[in-house]
Structure 1
Amino acid sequence: MRSSSKLLAGLTDSGSAAGATFFAGIIAVRELGTAPLALYALLFSSSVLAMVLPRQLHYIPAQLGANLERGRAAPHIAADGRRAIGADLLTVVIVLASGLPVLGQVEPPVFLALALTAAGFAVVSPLQDHVRSSLHLVDRHWSAAVCSAIVLVTAAAAAGTLLLTSAGAVAPLIPFGSLLVANAVSVVVGLVLLRGSETHARYVPQPLRIRSRFLFAEVTVQAAWFGCNSAVLVLVSAKALGDLEAARVLASPLNIVTTGLLTFLGPALLRSVAAKDAAAVRRGVLRVLLAILGAGLVYSVALAVLAGPVHVLLDRPVDVALVGARLVSVVLEGFSGVLLYLVFGMGRSAASLGASVTAGLIGFVGTVLLIPVLREFALPAGQSLGMAVRVGLGLRVLRPTMTGHARHAS
């Protein structure tokens, strides 16, 4: 398959997956009241945090193991799923517990509808990501795109059906419930599409000590962002957290670019790192940076021009400045995530962990300290500061590889 076709498939894949989440977020912003929307923001943040457990402990290490094999082999999905059961159970507990701060402000049926569907979504979504990534590994890029398109179409159909059935009564079920159903359907289709592909049956998980570094590198950041949301809720208001969630939803399509680029360029970049091809690594990193920056600029202009229609879509005013601030943090987080993916692939798991811990702490502390001055703007400002630090630390580790003076991995 030509590179242009692979890139188009990767962007279609990530775009459809992100589009489904974006659609669900729009429904949440439109249909949920102040307190339920604040609950949705906490649950979404904790879902992203909890998903890291099965993804970083089991799924991504299995993908890396398959990617570094000669030829085209997919991870053993069934075995990976069995290994992830313990992490899945912990995921459910984390998501359910995350909504407790607003339990008294939300009616119990609404709380249960949002929390239970969020927990189910947090378990199924990483598995769906794993199936799609496996399709990419065996060069079935358009099959992966089909899986994501199924998520988008199924989520839209489920949400539309629920809304037409009387949105008031079922609105809490829509945002996460539609994604839960859509991802489950996509997993089944993806497993069918994987049939006949070679499986990396010899895969042996790395020691837990190594995988835990990969886990905590991402957990630290997502836990810090959950802490930032909680700080805004406690120190500012539920309304401010709802406004931030609306801005996050509008900024989220930019994740399409970072996810698509990592899906398309990640394996090639890892192979360039392994081959110690400094020029190829430099070109790859520069391409990622320019693509993310260009997409962020274009999207910012588009949102500013279309602020009126977006206001109608959300049925609430759009704070363009707040959305812009969140876009900056998305750009920095996306680029730093690509860098740390390479750092971990180099075997520098301790360096990856250190960079994320430092960035997460700076982001959380910065947010808390800035809240008295910047109010809700403190969150994207703190996150941007933390991610800028992670970019710097990632580049520092990669510099020897990018200059052709690579050191031995540690």
Structure 2
Amino acid sequence: MLSTSAAARGSFEFDCIDADFADGVEGVIQQAFTERVTKPFAVVRIVTTPRRFEEVAGGPGLPGNWFSLEIGPKGSAASMPTWHAQLQLNGFPAHSRGVTSNITYLGSDEGGGPARPRPQSVGAAVANQVTLPSAIIAACAIPSAANAQQAIARILSSVADITTLRIKDVGQASFSSLCDKYGKTMLHYDVGFPISFNGHTSPKKFDIDTAEKPVVVLSHWDWDHLHAAFLRPHLMDCVWIVPDQKLGPGAARLAHILAAKGGLLVHSAGASTAFPSGEIAHANGPLGDLNNTGLTVQVELESGRLAVLTGDVDYGFLTHSSVRPINHLVATHHGARFASGSAKIPVPVPGSCKLLLSYGGRNVYRHPHPEALKLHSGAGWVNQVPTARNGAVPRGDREVN
């Protein structure tokens, strides 16, 4: 939500594939899941109120629901403001602004959801594509490998002697690294970078060592947590440990590329995996909620200080085995509001704690939210360190030891 008023607008983002390309033809979609094919894929952002969206589309704009969107450069006064970014080899660096003239609810990943209604026009011809995209849903299933949990445990066994947690300044996105005393990266937690909607928040320089190919732990399949893999393709040669979640077409394309390289390991839902310096845990939020069913990391640094990296997981869904107070917390969802309240915020070590916030100045989501910052402060997280510019402190990477 972009405000707290009674008529609060929401930002609805869709991972899309061109309908004319897919069209239900057997095998065509799978052929697009390669590094060479980009044309059919796009990300679309619509700004409207949740009530207006559901009135027009016949279903709520929630993860797992599929819609047919008709977008164009112009529309009527009733049309919805829309931003469209087409996938390129380097991800989503640019977008065009237009309008959505029609939305039609098609169905859900789970086969449930509201009955398919008669679509309502928002200023142009009513959409006529009302076929449930079963071929697309099937094609977007995450590839899985046998004995993935054993492989995950084996790979993580070398992630030891972590000295530094580095939160990279990637603007409105998430990218963190666990490093040893020599500065060598042992593990990346998320490899995000802003897509075009927040491109103005990107850093002028984005340097990472292309010779380093550490394991990547992906919190969840949102673009601002994985987009750097398109700007720095060597990241696709890393082994990725990912949550088992429903994917949109663009995310499924990346998953299939990683699987084809032999680098995709799907972490079992509900499981946790210990490694010498910490633990990966699967959050236990509602099924289908990407943010709250992702992977989180708890790490004990060489100093003995404890840090927790949350991705976009609400604190009420964390499942780490240790419940002791922690020294460093990467704030959930770039400092956005969260539902669980202050009682669920991890307890800080008094006088030795930092709340790290990864966000970009003037981002379109208006992160961080003052209410969230106040809740953290009330829970003892008063030392709040953003990657964005903070008064006289310039933007940049932030490190804790």
User: Which TM-score applies when normalising by structure 2?
Assistant: 0.26
Q: Which structure has the highest helix share of the two?
A: 1
Structure of higher RCO (CA pairs closer than 8 Å, 6+ residues apart): 1
**Relative to total residues, which structure has the larger strand share, 1 or 2?**
2
TM-score relative to the length of structure 1: 0.25
